[in-house]
Copies of this chain bind each other. A is one copy, B any other.
Amino acid sequence: MFPRYAMSALVAVAALTACQQAETAEQTHARMRMESDSARVAIDARGKAFAEATNAGNADAVAALYTDDAVLMPPDMPAVTGRDNIRATFAAMMGQMPGMKIAFEVQDVMANGPLAVERGAWIITVPTPDGGSSEMRGKYLVAWHRIDGEWMMARDIWNNDAPLPAM
């Protein structure tokens, strides 16, 4: 009879072998779909916090959503590196567009562990002197890092869906 301890040893080896094998591509995709759904919920909440902070003119709260060494990549100006410079950039933008409101629509999120990519659309509404408002629309891509359980923006780039009217 095959000794029982040998059988148990075989089970242990089989367990370790299964462990050391990488996920199949199918398993990876299934896991990433689940992680992406979960990240999307958190990222959607972060976007709402961003919009609220911007609409309240609170550049500190906006900057707090970025990693220490994040890179902000706004259109028609050079990239801005680091949370302190990002705070100053948002403060300047808010100063240039008093009364601006921003809203985001998350379009898709792809996550794998602590790295996620979000694609979305933005709308900025700015009051005009005649009491109406002008609207700009565009799109964005954000690379998110999950640090100590919190999703933070590490790279943030956007552009417009149409050329801006001449000033």
**Interface residues, chain A, with chain B CB atoms under 8 Å away:** 3-9, 11-12, 15-16, 18-19, 25, 28, 32, 71, 73-79, 110-115, 117, 119, 139-141, 143, 145, 154-155, 157-163, 166
Contacts and interface: CB of A to CB of B under 8 A. Distances in A.
A63 B110 CA distance: 21
Nearest to A154: B110
Interface of chain A, main secondary structure: mixed
Number of copies: 2
A137 to B, nearest CB: 9
A112 B110 contact: no
Contacts of A163: 76
Contacts of A78: 139, 161
Contacts of A75: 75, 159-160
A139 B73 contact: yes
A154 B113 CA distance: 18
B143 A157 contact: no
